[in-house]
């Protein structure tokens, strides 16, 4: 038996572009993909915090350092520039592997700069959307270089 588990996410990404005339996908800064343990062309779920829309697509690597988050093709109709989204990936694994697996969660600021990497699965009880992380025992600051 395989379980589908939450693997990683970019949390609170701000949509910087929407390109209706591209064939599809979501373009994300390569540095952010790496930090969130996401691969180019990996299937992701995009959850729009601003309007409640949800969609599935795949990642396309964007220019490193650009902090781009661009919904392409039909997905561009489900978002507006400035919307906040969560980009989530999942992985299939055996139950014994899943028991010890810890997802990667990268929380970004208003400029899509990574601010924290949550390294504990208990973060949900520690995170407040209004104020951000409220218990620093579950996070580590990201490197600024």
Which residues are designated catalytic?
A: 25, 58
Nearest to 81 by CA among 14, 133, 130: 14
Give the β-pairing of 139-141 and 54-62. Answer: unpaired
Query: CB neighbours of 132 closer than 8 A, spacing ≥ 6?
Result: 107, 115, 116
Give the dihedral sign, CA 73/79/80/84.
negative
Distances (CA, A) of 135 to 81, 85, 118: 31, 23, 11
């Amino acid at each position: 038996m395989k379980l589908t588990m939450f693997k990683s996410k970019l949390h609170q990404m701000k949509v910087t572009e929407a390109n209706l005339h591209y064939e599809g996908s979501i373009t994300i800064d390569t540095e952010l993909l790496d930090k969130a343990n996401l691969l180019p062309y990996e299937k992701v779920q995009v959850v729009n915090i601003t309007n409640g829309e949800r969609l599935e697509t795949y990642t396309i690597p964007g220019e490193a350092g650009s902090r781009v988050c661009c919904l392409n093709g039909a997905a561009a109709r489900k978002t507006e520039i400035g919307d906040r989204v969560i980009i989530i990936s999942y992985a299939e694994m055996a139950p014994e592997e899943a028991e010890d697996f810890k997802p990667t969660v990268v929380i970004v600021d208003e400029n899509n700069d990574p601010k924290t990497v949550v390294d504990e699965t208990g973060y949900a009880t520690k995170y407040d959307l209004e104020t951000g992380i409220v218990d620093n025992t579950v996070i580590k600051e990201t490197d600024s270089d």
